[in-house]
Amino acid sequence: MLEGRVNYILVGLFILLMVVVSVLTIYIFTKFGEKGEYKKYLIITTESISGLKEGAGVYYKGVQVGKVEKISIDPKDQNTVKIKVLIDKKLKVIDGMVATLGIQGITGLSYINIEKKTGFKLGYDKKEKLTIIPMKPSQLQKITSSLPEVIENANRVLLRIQEILSPKNTKKIDQLIFKADKLLAELNQAVIETQKFITEGKKLVKVTQNKIETLDVEKINVTVEKYQKVAKALEKLISQLKILTQNANYETLPRLNSLLEKLKETSQELRDLSHKLSTEPYSLINIKESKPHPLEERK
Amino acid sequence: MKKFFWLIIIFMLSACTLKTTPYETMHLLEIGSTYNLSCNIRLSEIKVADYLNTEKMVYRDAKGMHYFALNKWACSFSCIIKQALINSFPSIYQNQGKDLSIYILSFEPYFKNEKKGEIRFKAIVKLENNVKTFYIEHHFDVQNFEELVFRMNKTLDQFLRDLYFWIEENC
């Protein structure tokens, strides 16, 4: 009876068919499918791409549009890294698109981010026959690349600080501060002296004014007014000097010097005026006409 | 209304009648003597205190300093002094010789009452490196202004005479 017999040929053919179908399915869902829906691009960079691995995603506006296919070092130039990526054909890669390296959360894994940025153009690799997407260093890459320099600079600064704070220099700084303190104390004394001078000057002006008023002359009043103005200016200078003295440091010291020069000039002016008042009072007198003297009416 | 109008006219006319222009007399200082200097002297500078350097004549009394109202100099006081010096020492008006500088500090009568007082004269004179301060005081008791000017003339005469002797000493 034929019913109880197994046809081994048919079974063998069936198994073979199943194997072929399986292989085809796997192929279609992997390589074949990829080639059909994705297009290969090349990204070239000289920056570090630490954290980027084959199979990592390629994103455009936060949407995954592809993946990293292969990462290799350019055998001709050891500084250059070549990244081959597969990007969905639906995304039109055009001029103005640029790739950057992004970090995925706290995992430390990197991905490729495609964004639009003016000033970038696509290239073409004749050997690989692939379109090149330009890559610009991300903020992270910039920081990573500049970090060694920053650390070196910081080290240099620390060394200098150490040099400055050496026992020899510390002693010198102490001496300098001591001298500055002494200078400030002297300056304070000078301010007090100058204030005394102003007070005396004011007294003198008051006395002079009283005398002048009795003479009823005009010219002396003008001179004394000038005298008073000078005294006021001097007072203003001194108050500025006081503030500077209180907050004196290396920035304010040059200003303090110029102020002292002004003070000297003003004091000189005041001294000249006082000298003129005391030595040549007549030259300032402008006497008003009065009624005829009795002698003038006598014949 | 008419009365008021006339009142205004009379008031305005009264202003013309009450205001009289004072009659002013001008004076010069006449020099009595001429001196011949034995050396060459050049008048390089003559300065007069500002308050004196005017045509107005100054006097002092217990109240202070005043200008005479009805009498004045014929020209500014520095011009009067310069003229007096050139008249007394004709040779100093030349361009060679020792430099003579004169600074008149004061020259005015000081009245103790209406007629009596003293004329005070002060000057600093420099001849090359020699400096001298001349101070002259002349008492006066005068009846009128002309007598006062005469006394001032005498004071200036004395200064010129003293100056002559001093220059001769320092020539």
Please write the tens of the pLDDT for every residue from B101-155.
999 999 999 999 989 999 999 999 999 889 999 999 999 999 999 999 999 999 9
- Cα dihedral A233→A237→A243→A247 (10° resolution): 160
Domain B25-170 has CATH 3.40.1830.10: no
In whole angstroms, how far apart are CA A280 and each of A53, A171, A241, A285?
98, 57, 33, 9
For chain A, first and last CA: distance in Å? 190
Question: Which pLDDT score, from 0 to 100, does residue B122 have?
Answer: 94
Q: Are B6 and B134 in contact (CB under 8 A)?
A: no
Higher pLDDT, A111 or A274: A111
Residue A259 has pLDDT above 70, yes or no: no
Distance CA B171, CA B169 (A): 6
Question: Which pLDDT score, from 0 to 100, does residue A197 have?
Answer: 66
Question: Which pLDDT score, from 0 to 100, does residue B119 have?
Answer: 95
Distance CA A38, CA A65 (A): 9
Distance from the A239 Cα atom to the nearest Cα atom in chain B, whole angstroms: 38
Distance CA B125, CA B105 (A): 11
For chain B, first and last CA: distance in Å? 84
Which of these, A32, A163, A51, lies nearest to A106 by C-alpha position?
A51
Q: Is B31 on the interface with A (CB under 8 A)?
A: no
Q: If residue A111 lies in a helix (H) or strand (E), which one and from where to where?
A: strand A109-116
Q: Find chain B residues with C-beta within 8 A of A219's C-beta.
A: 50
Which of A275-289, B30-44, B109-123, B138-152 has the weakest average pLDDT?
Answer: A275-289
Q: Find chain A residues with C-beta within 8 A of B133's C-beta.
A: none
Question: Which pLDDT score, from 0 to 100, does residue A1 have?
Answer: 46
Q: Find chain A residues with C-beta within 8 A of B69's C-beta.
A: 289-293, 296
Query: What's the burial of A216, exposed, middle or buried (CB within 10 Å: 0-12/13-18/19+)?
Result: middle
Instruction: Check B64 against A216: CB less than 8 A apart.
Output: yes
Q: Are A74 and A81 in contact (CB under 8 A)?
A: yes
Q: Is B59 on the interface with A (CB under 8 A)?
A: yes
Q: Is A291 on the interface with B (CB under 8 A)?
A: yes
Question: Which pLDDT score, from 0 to 100, does residue A84 have?
Answer: 93
Residue B11 has pLDDT above 80, yes or no: no
- Residues found in chain B: 171
The per-residue pLDDT for range A83-136, each reduced to its tens digit, is 999 999 888 888 899 999 888 766 778 889 999 888 888 999 888 889 999 988
The per-residue pLDDT for range A149-168, each reduced to its tens digit, is 777 887 888 888 777 777 87
Distance CA A16, CA A10 (A): 10
The per-residue pLDDT for range A12-50, each reduced to its tens digit, is 999 999 999 999 888 777 655 555 688 999 999 888 888
Question: Which residue blocks in chain B are alpha helix, DSSP H?
Answer: 2-18, 77-88, 145-170
Could you give the ipTM of this predicted complex? 0.71
Question: Which pLDDT score, from 0 to 100, does residue B10 have?
Answer: 66
Choose among A219, A282, A298: nearest Cβ to B143.
A298
Instruction: Check B114 against A215: CB less than 8 A apart.
Output: no
The per-residue pLDDT for range A199-238, each reduced to its tens digit, is 776 676 666 655 554 454 455 556 667 766 777 777 777 7
Distance CA B48, CA B74 (A): 16
Q: What are the residue ranges spanned by the domains of chain B?
A: 25-170
